[in-house]
Amino acid sequence: MPALSRRWLLLPLVPAVLALAAWILRYVVKVEAQTLSESEAVAAALICVALLLTRRDPAPDNTTKRPTPSTGRAWLRALVVAFAMSIIGDLCLHYHTTNFGYMFGIAFFLLAHIGYLTYALKRVAFRWPVLVVIVVALLALYFFFYMPSPVLRDSPAMGVAVVAYLLVSCFSLAATIDLSSRSAARWVFTAAISCIVLSDACLAFVDFAGFPQFEWPIMPLYYLAHTLIAVSVTLEFTRR
């Protein structure tokens, strides 16, 4: 089957439009729009379309130190699984009534990051110095802003869950960064995971640090991340 043409770049507009509509309904019209705004489900569907309609593996990036295997389509399945875990995590966080339910949500989002990490590790060579920089930055946020929270002080299990999720997030973001790469698709993927990390940081500021003013960018960043992932995949798997 032929490779997808660049017209498929229009596909990521679908989750982008849903995300914008959900944000307007929630923050402008003041209507809850949780069921409308599951952009990861839409983005996963778009990636499934790419899986079905193309057999072309992405071209090797000569700037990476890791050769490109011939299993590009299998990498996409890791993203689809990541989106599925995100949907379950969304439901756990949205409907949780106890710390246990919240930790369940964190666990599923942690699995989602493992999916992003799996995809990223097949695309660029891992850079340990990059990981160190990211870990130091996010751990500083945790110790100075999140750890004083009564929720974390009174629940060691919650603290362990948050730290574990933070560290896995660091790995998934670091795995996307290769400063020598000239691949637009891979830098778009880096931007996508960065949006997830920023969205999570804003959520933690609201839930743990007591700063409700950080609530408004949480979902736009989250939906932008899924849109950018779909853009990245479309760029990677379409013909020039």
Q: Give the chain's domain count.
A: 1
Please check whether residue 38 lies inside any domain of the structure.
Answer: yes
Question: Mean pLDDT over residues 22-50, rounded?
Answer: 58
Kindly state whether residue 63 falls inside one of the protein's structural domains.
yes
Q: Sorting pLDDT into bands at 50, 70 and 90, what band is 110?
A: very high
> Considering the chain, what percentage of its residues have pLDDT values greater than 90?
35
> Is 76 within a domain?
yes
Supply the pLDDT for residue 75: 74
Q: Name the residue range of residue 186's domain.
A: 6-236
Residue 28 predicted with pLDDT over 90? no
Reported as a pLDDT band with limits 50, 70 and 90, residue 72 is: low
pLDDT at 135: 97
Stretch 125-153: mean pLDDT: 92
* pTM of full prediction above 0.75: yes
Query: Which pLDDT score, from 0 to 100, does residue 40 have?
Result: 60
Res 222: pLDDT: 85
Q: What is the pLDDT of residue 46?
A: 61
d(CA 201, CA 184): 26
Q: How large is the average pLDDT for residues 180-198?
A: 92
Tell me whether residue 1 is in a domain.
Answer: no
The pLDDT, as a whole number, for residue 203 is 94
Mean pLDDT of 201-216: 92
pLDDT for the residue 3? 47
